[in-house]
Homo-oligomer: A and B are copies of this chain.
Amino acid sequence: MELYFLGTGSGVPSKERNVSSLTLRLLEETGAVWMFDCGEGTQQQILHSPIKPRRVEKIFITHLHGDHIYGLPGFLSSRSFQGGTTPLTIYGPEGLQDFVELSLKISGTHLNYEIDFRQIEDGFTEDSPQFEITAHLLEHGLDSYGFLIKEKAQQGALQKEKLEAMGVPPGPIYQTIKNQERTTLEDGTIITRSEVLGAPKPGRSIAILGDTRFKSSHAEWIHGADLLVHEGTFSGKEREMAYEYYHSTVSQAAALAKESEVGRLIVNHLSSRYQTPDIELLSEEAKKIFPETTIAHDHYHVSIPRNNGKES
C-alpha cells in the first residue's frame, strides 16, 4: 500500500508542481491502482512514474474544479490506446459524467473498456471484501468531498508451531485449516481455526480530502486514520485569504491532523506562490503543531504506515 503523488500544486501548474492528482497503489493487496483527482497533465506525470494506466481501476474525483478534472479525458483515452481493456469505475459529483462523456464524444474517442460512473454525495459508501470507502462533504464553494478508505482487518497468520506441537505435520491440511472454521483430521481430532491463528492484522485507513476550508468537525470522520492527506494551499499567515478562497493553510491542516489523532499527515495542493525555499518554512510551521507532517512534492511516494494500533 503506497501513496504516489503525481501533482501537488493548486489552481495552475508551475515548473515545480503540476495540478492535482495522486494514486493509491494497492500492489500487494489487489495489484490495482486507485487515482484521486486527475488535473491536466496527469498522464504526462505518469510517464515519469512507475504507474501503468491500465492498472488504474478506480478514479475518485473530489470536486469539479478544472485543476482536478481537466486531465481526465486525456488519461482515459491514453489508457485505452495503451492497451487498457478492463473496466474502470469513476466516482465523482454530479456533472462529472457529462463532462467526460461530452469530451469523449466530441473528440470521436472510442474506449476499449467500459466506464461505470458512480455519483457521490455526502455519506456515499461502497463496501467490498477488502475495503470500505466513504465520501464526506467538505466546505469549498462547490461540492467537494473527502474519501475515507478503510482496509478491513486481515486474518492472523497460522501459528505453525502450535499445530506442530499438536502433532499436525505441515502439508496441504494447513491451508484447509486456515480456510474453514473447524477441521476434522483423519484421526478424528477437531481443530478450531481461531485457536491456531495469530491476532488479526488491523486494516489501515487513509483519509484523502479534496479542497476545503479548515473545519474542525472533519475530525469526527477522519479520527484515528493512519494517514491523512489534506490540502494546505497557503501558509499559516494567510488564514483570511484561505477562508475567503475556501482553502486551508498548512497550519490548519496540521491542527486538524492533531485533533483527529491520525498517524501521519501529508499536505498537498500548495499555491504556486511558494517556491522550494518557502516549502521548508511551511514544513517547520506545520511540524510545530503536528510533528508527523510531510509537505508532498510531485513524485513523492510513501508506504502507508499502520497507526501503531491507535485505532484501525
CB of B74 within 8 A of CB of A66, answer yes
With A43-B12, A103-B99, A106-B99 known as contacts, the answer to whether A66 contacts B77 (CB < 8 A) is: yes
The A45-83 residues at the B interface (CB cut-off 8 A) are: 47-48, 64-67, 69-71, 73-74, 77-78, 81-82
Stretch of A13-21, A175-183, A184-192, A222-230 with 4 or more beta carbons under 8 angstroms from chain B: A13-21
Instruction: Say yes or no for A199: interface residue by CB 8 A criterion.
Output: no
CB of B95 within 8 A of CB of A40, answer no
A108 touches which one: B14, B65, B74, B104 (CB < 8 A)? B65
Give the shortest distance, in Å, between A169 (CB) and chain B (any CB).
54
Instruction: Say yes or no for A107: interface residue by CB 8 A criterion.
Output: yes
Give the shortest distance, in Å, between A174 (CB) and chain B (any CB).
47
A40 neighbours in B (Cβ, 8 Å):
40-41, 43-44, 70-71, 73-74
Instruction: Say yes or no for A168: interface residue by CB 8 A criterion.
Output: no
Give the shortest distance, in Å, between A137 (CB) and chain B (any CB).
16
User: In whole angstroms, how far apart are the Cα atoms of A151 and B44 in the complex?
Assistant: 36
CB of B64 within 8 A of CB of A106, answer yes
The majority secondary structure among interface residues of chain A is: loop
Q: Which residue of B lies closest to A272 (CB)?
A: B81
* Number of identical protomers: 2
A103 neighbours in B (Cβ, 8 Å):
66, 70, 99, 103
- Tally of chain A residues near chain B (CB < 8 A): 40
Instruction: Say yes or no for A141: interface residue by CB 8 A criterion.
Output: yes
User: In whole angstroms, how far apart are the Cα atoms of A64 and B103 in the complex?
Assistant: 10
A70 touches which one: B14, B73, B142 (CB < 8 A)? B73
Q: Which residue of B lies closest to A70 (CB)?
A: B74
Instruction: Say yes or no for A98: interface residue by CB 8 A criterion.
Output: yes
Give the shortest distance, in Å, between A46 (CB) and chain B (any CB).
10
Instruction: Say yes or no for A109: interface residue by CB 8 A criterion.
Output: yes
Most buried by B among A74, A99, A104: A74
A73 neighbours in B (Cβ, 8 Å):
40, 66, 70
With A70-B74, A73-B66, A74-B70 known as contacts, the answer to whether A44 contacts B106 (CB < 8 A) is: no
- New A-B pairs, 6, CB < 8 Å, besides A11-B81, A41-B41: A12-B43, A12-B78, A14-B47, A65-B107, A66-B103, A66-B109
